Amino acid sequence: MYKKKRKTRNRSVALLTLFSASAGAVDLGVELEAGIGYTDNITRASDTLVEPVLDDTVYQAGLTVTLEHETARAQVDLRGSLFYHDYQDAPYDSETLPALDMSALFRVTDQSLSWFLNGNVGQQTIDPFQPVTPDNREDFAYFTTGPSLFVPLGPRFSLRADLSYSEIKYEEQPLDNSRTGAQLSFARQINPTRALSLNLRAERTDFDLDALLAPIDRYDAFFQFSTEGSRNEITVDLGWSISERSSVRSEEPLVNVEWLRQLSPATSLDISVGSRVSDAAESFRGNQRDSINIGDVQNQQGVTDPFREDYAGLAVTYAATRTTLTLGSRWVDENYVNSQSVRDRNLLLLSAHFSRQLGPSWDFGLHASSSTNDYEALGREDEDFNIGTSLTWSGSRTIEIELSLDRVDRESTEAADEFTENRAYLAFRYIPDIGRQN
């Protein structure tokens, strides 16, 4: 297990180093951080059990990196972090936790041929029914790369062909797999702001443990309509999905509607609704990209079968000169299309983030979130609540000190899994003034 852990983490470290070193004249942000924290329940022991509740001091050091780069030949968007945790008295070894969310497109020729790379690295739960602790999380890595060929077919029509290869690695669970895929898109530009396309997509998943885990074949066919105006962006997908594994075949509708509306210069509305076939790896990638904190541990299930995902989301963002407010909600219904019906679940996620610049050197933050996981077949429901606040002092453009306080509370139909935890963390940050475009 140790060698596997090193392999996953070294890959993410190498990517962070590569992009930080080669950034050049781009919008590059780097933060170095060291901090000390206290928790009154490091193991998240149950409120109802006799076992002792352990408090502990946690030491942390690391860095975060952001990179945005766009030229005629390359487009790169990256968020990454790498943090070392050391526990003073808790029964956990020190650990280094990587996180990465990146997408890159490199043009081999002026227009027709390009190469893409998508990467996600982070942590997810091993047992989704248990609280998140150092013993109940593992590293996860998902990288996809391949060529993309664009062929114009006159002033309004075009053809795009993509080939992809993916590697997915788990630190603990024996679910490693590789994926090969192809997509063909035939598009018509209706006018400068509207387009319609027919898309055909196929993907095969092969598992390292092929003697125990059968491969999965997935096929999608859908129309996509997109329109963009001065205040609206709308995308609509309508089609059908097929998944096959062994002798089991499933056919599901593919529907996706996304609407981004600029309500005012400071306020935007983001709505999404749909139904599609997904799996645990795709769910991790999507959830991490939607997370404000890239290092959040994702609540995923260690199940290899695809599932039908019905979803609806709503987010409102207000961003003024000194004040930012984000309100979000998302409902997800996961139904496994081949087996594992006992893992079918209904999720409801609510979140609120508020920040206010109190003065030239002071910032105040407040956040709250709720996550409900309902496993109807098991008669189990878990509700996790988190609330916290932060106060940040900026001594200069390059120095920050932040004090944050958080409380986590879980309620569950399984009383033995309920817990509360209170945390305090003091962080010292150095933000070198390099690589940023003014």
The reported pLDDT for the residue numbered 110 is 77
407 belongs to a structural domain: yes
Please state the rounded mean pLDDT for residues 246-253.
88
Q: Which two tokens stand for residue 99?
A: 């996180």
Q: Which two tokens stand for residue 88?
A: 């003073």
Please state the rounded mean pLDDT for residues 24-39.
88
The reported pLDDT for the residue numbered 52 is 78
The reported pLDDT for the residue numbered 174 is 94
DSSP string, 108-119: SSSSSEEEEEEE
The reported pLDDT for the residue numbered 339 is 60
CA 45 from centre of chain: 27
438 belongs to a structural domain: no
Distances in Å between the Cα of 338 and the Cα atoms of 284, 295, 341, 383 are 20, 31, 8, 27
CATH number at 105 reads 2.40.170
Task: Choose between 10 and 50: higher pLDDT.
Answer: 50
Indicate whether 236 pLDDT > 80: yes
Q: Which two tokens stand for residue 26?
A: 């781009």
Q: Which of 38, 8, 7 is nearest to 403 (CA)?
A: 38
The reported pLDDT for the residue numbered 90 is 87
Q: Give the whole-angstrom CA distance, residue 285 versus residue 121.
A: 9
8 belongs to a structural domain: yes
Please state the rounded mean pLDDT for residues 127-155.
94
Please state the rounded mean pLDDT for residues 49-57.
83
Distances in Å between the Cα of 209 and the Cα atoms of 174, 177, 387 are 7, 8, 41
Indicate whether 51 pLDDT > 80: no
436 belongs to a structural domain: no
Confidence of residue 47 (pLDDT cuts 50, 70, 90): confident
Q: Could you say which DSSP state residue 127 is in?
A: S
Distances in Å between the Cα of 230 and the Cα atoms of 13, 37, 62, 262, 321 are 40, 46, 41, 8, 22
Tens of pLDDT, residue by residue over 83-126, are 999 999 889 999 999 999 999 999 998 779 999 999 999 999 99
The reported pLDDT for the residue numbered 169 is 96
Q: Are 429 and 38 in contact (CB under 8 A)?
A: no
437 belongs to a structural domain: no
Tens of pLDDT, residue by residue over 253-280, are 999 999 999 999 999 999 999 999 999 9
Confidence of residue 415 (pLDDT cuts 50, 70, 90): confident
The reported pLDDT for the residue numbered 435 is 59
The reported pLDDT for the residue numbered 354 is 97
Indicate whether 24 pLDDT > 60: no
Q: Mean pLDDT of all residues in the chain?
A: 90
The reported pLDDT for the residue numbered 438 is 46
54 belongs to a structural domain: yes
Distances in Å between the Cα of 289 and the Cα atoms of 78, 100, 145, 235, 283 are 11, 10, 18, 18, 10
The reported pLDDT for the residue numbered 48 is 75
| % of the chain beyond a pLDDT of 90 | 75
Q: Give the whole-angstrom CA distance, residue 277 versus residue 288.
A: 18
114 belongs to a structural domain: yes
230 belongs to a structural domain: yes
Tens of pLDDT, residue by residue over 306-323, are 899 999 999 999 999 999
pTM of the entire structure? 0.88
Domain containing residue 242 = 2-430
Confidence of residue 336 (pLDDT cuts 50, 70, 90): confident
Q: Give the whole-angstrom CA distance, residue 205 versus residue 15.
A: 25
Q: What 3-state class would DSSP assign to 295?
A: coil
Confidence of residue 172 (pLDDT cuts 50, 70, 90): very high
Q: Give the whole-angstrom CA distance, residue 24 versus residue 435.
A: 7
Confidence of residue 26 (pLDDT cuts 50, 70, 90): confident
Q: Give the whole-angstrom CA distance, residue 347 versus residue 148.
A: 35
Number of domains in the chain: 1
Q: Which two tokens stand for residue 21?
A: 């070193």
Q: Which of 336, 414, 315, 407 is nearest to 366 (CA)?
A: 407
